[in-house]
Structure 1
Amino acid sequence: MKKTIVLTILMAVFASCSDSDTTQEIETPTTPTNPTDPTGTVTYNKDVKSIIDANCISCHSSGRSASFRPLTTFAQVKAAVESAGLLGRIQLQNGQQGLMPQGGRMSQANIDIIVKWNTDGLKEN
């Protein structure tokens, strides 16, 4: 009998927990690597560099498998957008040949930031 009462109380406590009360606590804040909507002018240093660092330089840096196309500086990333097809390659879908990064498509939010950077004039700061 006591076990039934204790279990009933525990079930009532757990059932009273609501996801809506904790949603704001769990939400990830907007950061350059987790943007929700790129507003204002997108710049390399403020918005794009952290995305490239997180998704590209593990291959596209000195001594790595894609060191022939380094993406470690503003000038290198800008050149890749302007003349090496970076925008097209990051917008391919998983399974399509040439997709970058090779490990799988980055988030659409990150892609949108890089595309907006191009639209905004590939500004550094």
Structure 2
Amino acid sequence: MNSLRRMLLAASAALVMLTTSAVAADANVAGEWDLTVETQAGTGNPHFSLKQDGNKITGTYKGMLGESPVTGTVKGNEIAINFQVNAQGTDLAVSYTGTVDGATMKGTVKLGDLGEGTFSGKKAGG
């Protein structure tokens, strides 16, 4: 009975350690971000102000497409940010997906049906 109790205690401790490690592994993306976006239509320099609650992201986009609230997720070092804008009378769903490495991030951006591009940037002050 003692050995069963020890095994259960060891398994519980291992589960707690794994859960803590998984939570701690999410990148910290809260803050101000300055990005450079490259598309066939040209280059832009959007600014994101992001807040993070666990793996959920909220915030604001400001750039060539105007200003919009954003939502997204961060899982480990993978980030996804989404928002909607009205560009010249057309509703446009914009999505950024990529990776975070400390105070930098990079990846791809999809501009609804208008096309795709790449982005890279860094956390302001980072």
- TM bucket (normalised to shorter chain) is under 0.3
More helix, by proportion: 1
Identify the structure with bigger relative contact order (alpha carbons < 8 Å, sequence gap 6+): 1
**TM (normalized to structure 1)?**
0.26
**TM (normalized to structure 2)?**
0.26
| Larger of the two Rg values belongs to structure | 1
More strand, by proportion: 2
